[in-house]
Structure formats: C-alpha cells, structure tokens
Amino acid sequence: MSKISVLLVDDHALFRQGMRALLESSSHVEIVGEATDGREAIEKVRQLTPQVVLMDIGMPGMGGLEATRRILKENPGVRTLVLTQYEDAEYILAMLRAGAKGYIAKTATAAELDNAIQTVSRGESYLYPSAATALVEEYLLRVGGEKDEYERLTDREREVLQLVAEGYPNREIADKLYISVKTVLRHRTNIMQKLGFHNRTELIKYAISKGLIEIARKIDK
C-alpha cells in the first residue's frame, strides 16, 4: 500500500522537525517536503505535487489562508489539512471557505493527526473535536438571537438586570448584592452594550419578554 505524500508547512523549524520525526514513524505517511511560509508552500506544491498539505495559519509573509486559496486554485486535487494553535470559529470558517478539507489542533495526539491525514486524503472532511465545538457554538450564536444575547451576560449582570427591571435604584441594588454603586453602574453599562439597549425602558421590556419579571408585578411598582 502506497503512503500518503505530505508537504509540511510551518514557520518554526523545531516544530517541523518534530512533526517530520513523528509522521515518519507512521506506516501511512511520507513527508515529501517542507515549507516555511505560504509562498514557499505554493512553489513546493508545484514541484512535489503532494496529496496532502499540512498547513499552519499564522506565518510571516503569506499566511496559510491565502496560500490555501492559491494552492487549491492551481491544484484542486490537493487536500489541505490545517494544523494550528488557533481554534476560534473565525479562523476555522475562513480556512474551510478557502477550501481546506480538515482542521486539527497542535495539541492533538499522533494517532489523531495520522487519522486526520488519512481522512482528508480520501477527500473526506475532518474536524478536531474542539474545532467542531467552536463551529457549533458560532452557529448557535448566529441563529439563537435573543437567547444567546442573554447567555453572554455574566451571572452578576443577570442579577443586576433583574433588579433594575424590578425598579430598584442603584443604591439598593448595591446593598442587595454587597457591591458598590460604581460597580452597579459598570454592570448596567455592560448590560446595555451587550444587549444593544439605550435606556431602562428597553431593559424592562426585555426582562418581561424573557420572563424575568411579570407585567403585573411591574405595574404594581
């Protein structure tokens, strides 16, 4: 069974050496070359035609995002597997849109990396668990609307929100929560910014819609 030819792209020499030593022990993988940045990666793909490019994102000069776009434009059959320390949804989505077939963290084990390379070499997609979680959270954030806005509030901010909506003045809120008035005002500002509100009336309407207070209770006050 022939091995999967892999081009290793990362700007750190020690990391490349470690990856080479690690992957050369695999019965599935053959490292055919290395590149230190995106531009060199493009040239090495032209010269070596690897099946899989193991691509970092953040590199001096041309990074992994632009390099992936250009490599796949010239060589649609090459599979790019992102190997990086960045696990934020914005990076993951950007690389997937650029055409990357997989995304794996540098904290992964040798077995996980070996499996990821085999998976993308077959044309299938591979997402490291933390990357998949980040994408799910980003999706829920986008489609969840108001619920997710509330979830972004801290526990203390939720307490302040409820007391403000119930009509308590800043001094009483401070006394109830054993914090200073200055801290209450800071929490109120943060709540307004996170929820996109500009006055207490909007907060009250929001609190009612969320079931934090009842309309009858608010009228009684």
Mean pLDDT of the chain: 85
Domain-wise residue ranges, the chain? 4-140, 146-220
Summarize the confidence of residues 7-33 as an average pLDDT.
92
For residue range 115-162, list pLDDT tens digits in order. 999 999 999 999 888 777 777 776 666 655 445 577 778 888 988 988
Mean pLDDT to the nearest integer, 188-204: 85
pLDDT value of residue 134:
75
- pLDDT score at 3: 92
Tokens of 206: 């929001």
Q: How confident is the model at residue 220 (pLDDT cuts 50, 70, 90)?
A: very low
What is the distance between the alpha carbons of residues 5 and 54, in angstroms, rounded to a whole number? 10
pLDDT at 216 over 50: no
Q: Which residues, other chains included, contact 174 with Cβ-Cβ below 8 Å and sequence gap of 6+?
A: 180, 181, 183, 184
Q: Which CATH architecture has domain 146-220?
A: Orthogonal Bundle (1.10)
Spatial distance between the Cα atoms of 144 and 139, rounded to a whole number of angstroms: 8
pLDDT, position 146: 47
Structure tokens at 54: 């193991």
Give burial (CB, 10 Å; 0-12/13-18/19+) of 20.
Answer: middle
Three-class secondary structure assignment of 12-34: CHHHHHHHHHHHCCCCCEEEEEE
Percent of the chain topping pLDDT 70: 90
Q: Phi and psi of 107, rounded to 5°?
A: -85, 0
Q: How far apart, in Å, are the Cα atoms of 187 and each of 64, 131, 159?
A: 40, 32, 10
What is the tens place of the pLDDT at every residue in 74-111? 999 999 999 988 777 778 888 888 899 999 988 888 89
CATH class of 4-140: alpha beta
Token code pair at residue 129: 């668990």
Question: How far does CA 131 lie from the centroid of its chain?
Answer: 7
